[in-house]
Chains A and B, each alone.
Chain A
Amino acid sequence: MKDLMRSPVVKMMVARLLIGLGTIAVISFVIYGVIELLPGDIAREVLKSQATDESVRAFNERLGLDRPFLERYFEWLGNALHGDLGRSLISDVPVSELLAQRVKNSAFLAVLAAVLAVPLALLLGILSATFRNSVFDRATGITTLACVSLPEFALGYLMILFLAVKTGLFPSLSVIDPGAPLLERIWQTVLPALTLTLIVQAHMSRMTRSSLVALFQRPYIEMAELKGLRRRKVVWRHALPNAMGPIAVVITLNMAYLLTGIVVIEAVFAYPGLGQLMVDAVARRDIPLVQAASLIFATFYVSLNTLADVIGIVTNPRLLYARK
């Protein structure tokens, strides 16, 4: 055990984990503070034109919004650590109950998109690197970069226009039902998953391509080729394992995006995920829900980033030792 703790890899992992936790703590404070700074009084935004001075006072008293900021923050953080995220201001339902199904739905979409995107990106990247500067390479480059350059909602609407409205191939709505059979849910989620695939494609396939291209210049690859090994074997056996580090980092970062950056795509496809829930909560000033959703997003993002860091360092042991 002692030996294990002395291992530089484990030390590094523990350090990264602690940095991650620290980041989440800072984020939690920012989340709690920023919402205080939103213009307009919560009570008046909730009650809209029906707000009278009396109803506003009653509202603030009922929710304890008249208490000092720091007191409320630490109480909230303490409860959140125990898994109690509070109750919705609007409907008084526990926030965790509102979140549960939405988190599952968001994860479902992210996983489906990843299952489509990762193999495709690797394949395109490898083929582009192998047939560098060919027509195929250029066409792939232009297409993937065009997709990532379009605003997300525009890409979503284009998918709906061509794959649903004009051709009727897929449903234009993705209002999935957790009770439906898996295949049906996948069918309904295809369009948003495809759109997300196109968005994360460019980054991953370009990274794969450039890592491999850099490796192909190395002497040992040249050696392998001179030995008369077949092209396929050179790529899969000799080049790819050495390129896996940076590729894995990029994949992990894109997974973080898939879980947290899909608010717009959810809205475009009416997909019942966490992002839609959060937008709705912001519009209604349902503060506990906004805070809980932000905290979940932040945790996903920081965790996956930490994972990317760890993968990056483990696959490149030079990074374990700080330069003196």
Chain B
Amino acid sequence: MAGMRPAFAEPKRGGTLRLGMGTGSANDSLDPALAIDTFPIVLNFGCLRNCLTEVGPDGQLRPELAESWDISPDAKVWTFRIRSGVEFHDGRTLTPSDVVATLRHHGGESSTSTASSIIAGIEDMTIDGDNVRITLVEGNADFGFLMSFYALGIMPATDDGVDWASGVGTGAYVLQDFQPGVRARLSRNPNYWKPNAAYFDEVELLSIRDTTTRQNAVTTGDVDVVERIDPRTARLLQRANGVTLREIQGLLHYTFSMNAPEAPFSDNNVRMALKYGVNREAMVQTILSGHGAVGNDQPIGPANKFYAADLEQRTYDPDRSKYFLRQAGMDKLTVPLHISDAAFPGAVDAALMYQEQAAESGITIDVVREPSEGYFSNIYRRTPFFGSYWSGRPTEDWIFSQGYASDGALNETQWKNERFDELLGMGRLETDDSLRAEIYRECQEILRDDGATLIPMFANHMFAHRETVVVPETIGSNYNLDGYKGVERWWAA
């Protein structure tokens, strides 16, 4: 083996990381509350700031600015011990009042923060020495996880709020120059508190929204890493010299959603007939070019903590589909499916494939192509059967209560199930992980066998990097780019 370089040498300091991002807008802001696209999230969360907790590459929750925490038995009172001796980029020292001010920044009546629903669950916050004690409106065993959410990076407190405009945080990189929609330049935080992190001297984020241009840029070496890989051309990147494609199953999934209160979808037999009529494997191969995994009609994936891996995977079975159709008292079924590529990339092709697959069991899927413009105002939730996507949520409770609970704000199918709501309430208060695993297993089973959401596939997180960058074997699956934290986890070769 002489002459062969070990694949993963010891991390070393130095070099510049140039990241080609597939997003970026002139409206991007340094306020993490408003970040919904990858460019501002990697900048605000991945580079500038730290949260109280962090999801590690192994998927486990670990301390970040909170050194440790205690939970009351009813999961209602959370006490976070704030790390001492941590400095902001401008030299100020982190205090518990910065934490309180940051969390308040995301709350309030008129909050437009992506974290507003998390903060709405907080009843009271008090400071006690180095501790921040948070009392919740009702117990939530996942609150520690929620504190790792990318919008909740800690910012320095000011007299009447927080200072977000300067970009000052405790994070691995200090902002040098930011041109929204174009680029951001950062340099290593010389006083970064976290050991074994932040190896590059400089980081540059570039907004390259055209897919071909972006993928070319990593091929020519104009950037070191690119995200948002088009599955159809991923193969070309794999073939390019000096470029490595990395992928991991995340939580992004695509759906065909039915309006549950409306006939024929109000009959679960019809829902089951539709679910057995789709060839998931073929869709993953064609729509995602193999860069994904089959869905099981429930939104929890291996990247979630309580994913029920033993739950039997539903497969394409026209006979079963016919059986359920007969149970519903029908031989034939015709349903219009309203679709556009705005729902997810390749949605129209997926609908056409589904049309052909479902025809085997006597179901006629009438594919209605809708314009992409206005899809989310006119079609989504306004037609009985439509396409949609979910970027996923880091915890079971979060996605269930937003998307599937009877009163969920984003329950797009209006599906209601008493047992499911009851389990959801139990799971939220339970702090014993093995009991929660059981509760959430049943939730996943109910969704699979009764839910109104057909989930044929999960798309992989994909990014490509040059051999100038070393990316460890284990990468985070909670978000793309190593949980959006690759900037501080990778190093120059």
Contact = CB atoms under 8 A, between A and B. Distances in A.
B289 interface: no
B305 interface: no
Contact of B213 (A41, A48, A269): A269
Contact of A267 (B28, B110, B177, B209): B209
A272 B182 contact: yes
A3 B180 CA distance: 53
Nearest to B214: A270
A284 B34 CA distance: 14
A123 interface: no
Interface string B189-218: 000000000000000001111101110110
B213 A173 contact: yes
A88 B410 contact: no
A88 B377 CA distance: 21
B124 interface: no
A267 B182 CA distance: 12
Nearest to B343: A49
A270 B213 contact: yes
Contacts of A269: 213
Contacts of A165: 216, 219-220
A92 to B, nearest CB: 9
B220 A164 contact: yes
A177 interface: yes
A277 B181 contact: yes
Contacts of A39: 371, 373-374, 377-378
A268 B215 CA distance: 11
A157 interface: yes
Nearest to A171: B222
Contacts of A45: 374, 376-377
Contact of A280 (B20, B181, B222, B409): B181
Nearest to B370: A39
A272 B184 CA distance: 13
A175 B378 contact: no
Interface in B337-389: 371, 373-378, 380, 388
Nearest to A99: B26
Contacts, number: 112
B148 interface: no
B364 to A, nearest CB: 28
A157 B209 CA distance: 15
Contacts of A102: 26
A135 interface: no
Given A164-B216, A286-B27, A50 B410 contact: yes
B382 to A, nearest CB: 10
A175 B25 contact: no
Contact of A101 (B179, B213, B378): B179
B149 to A, nearest CB: 15
A230 B18 CA distance: 58
A173 B181 contact: no
Interface of B: 20, 25-29, 34, 110, 177, 179-183, 206-210, 212-214, 216-217, 219-220, 222-223, 371, 373-378, 380, 388, 409-410, 412
In order of increasing CB-CB distance, the 9 nearest A-B pairs are A40-B374, A44-B377, A39-B374, A91-B27, A40-B377, A90-B27, A272-B182, A270-B208, A172-B220
Interface of A: 38-41, 44-45, 48-52, 58, 88, 90-91, 93, 98, 101-102, 157, 160, 164-165, 168, 171-173, 175, 177-179, 267-270, 272, 276-277, 280-281, 284, 286, 289
19 contacts: A39-B371, A39-B373, A40-B375, A40-B377, A52-B409, A102-B26, A164-B216, A164-B220, A164-B222, A172-B217, A172-B220, A173-B222, A175-B206, A175-B207, A177-B183, A269-B213, A270-B209, A280-B26, A280-B209
